[in-house]
Amino acid sequence: MNSLENQVAIVTGGAMGIGGATSRSLADSGAKVLIADIAIESAETNARAIRERGGTVLVVEADVSKALSIKNMIDHAIEEWGRLDILVNNAYNAPFGGNQNVVDTTEEQWDAGMALLVKAIFLGAKYAVPHMANQGSGSIINISSVHGMLTAPGSLIYEAGKSAVIGATRQMATEFGPMGIRVNAICPGHIVTERVQPQWDANPSGLKFFENQYPLRKVGKPDDIANAVGFLCSDAASFITGHSLVVDGGLTIQLQENFGVQQAHFLTENPDSPLPYCRE
């Protein structure tokens, strides 16, 4: 692992899933980690695991859709440790499914989704960048998705938000590069988190169908994304900024017409396999 000794990191949504694994990974690399999450009990559980591994961690309750909450989160890290080196904008929690198209989506749904997906990374950078600029260095990692590159029907808010994350990442990288601040995004494929695992436990044949969509014939784990975060915020990536790193087991590299034939063959050979619905 790349050493992050004496660096300070904030991970939003750091209690579980991708954020939970990222918090543990950064702490294992030597960073002091502030977990910001609305799920305080889960965040404290993750913090205990980090401390048991010898890491340094704090937990702060934060609603990343609110400016005051994010400012307090940043201020807490500065007051405790005197600097901020890494900000991982990861938090997002909204119900999946539903017919989210332009006609049927309500204004309230749109505003709530954009606040979590896009406004949160704007606010995170707004309050983090001045501290990073003062020290002449910093790394911001924004978690997007393969849905920010390819789109699916019925997912207006998620697709629009994750696409906006990629655009905002590029703009921030251009803006803040002269200050010594690098800004990158990660686009995960399907990651089996603690919340997703029960779905696949109940539908193993559906998981097999899903895995068949990936050239590596497997889906991802939270640690796969945590490892990518660790690389991008380390000195090993010191000449990388404005990049959207796709970590998807090859999902997005496939020619779609061939991919469709492949899946048709799979269903012919596995006629009882139920078709899963899932979002990366």
- Bridge partner residues of 187 (DSSP): 246
- Bridge partner residues of 138 (DSSP): 181
Contact 278, 251 (CB under 8 A): no
- Active-site residue, selected from the candidate residues 92, 127, 158, 277: 158
Rounded Cα distance between 121 and 169, Å, is: 9
Q: Scan for tokens 């305080």, then name that residue.
A: 40
Rounded Cα distance between 222 and 214, Å, is: 17
Contact 31, 9 (CB under 8 A): yes
Rounded Cα distance between 229 and 119, Å, is: 21
> Cα–Cα distances in Å, from 76 out to 152, 161, 198, 261?
39, 28, 35, 53
Which residues 6+ apart lie within 8 Å of 211 measured at CB?
A: 217, 218, 219
158 as an active site residue: the answer is yes
Q: Which residue, 184, 155, 145, is CA-closest to 168?
A: 184
Rounded Cα distance between 51 and 163, Å, is: 36
> Exposed/middle/buried for 112, CB within 10 Å: 0-12, 13-18, 19+?
middle
Residues known to be catalytic = 158
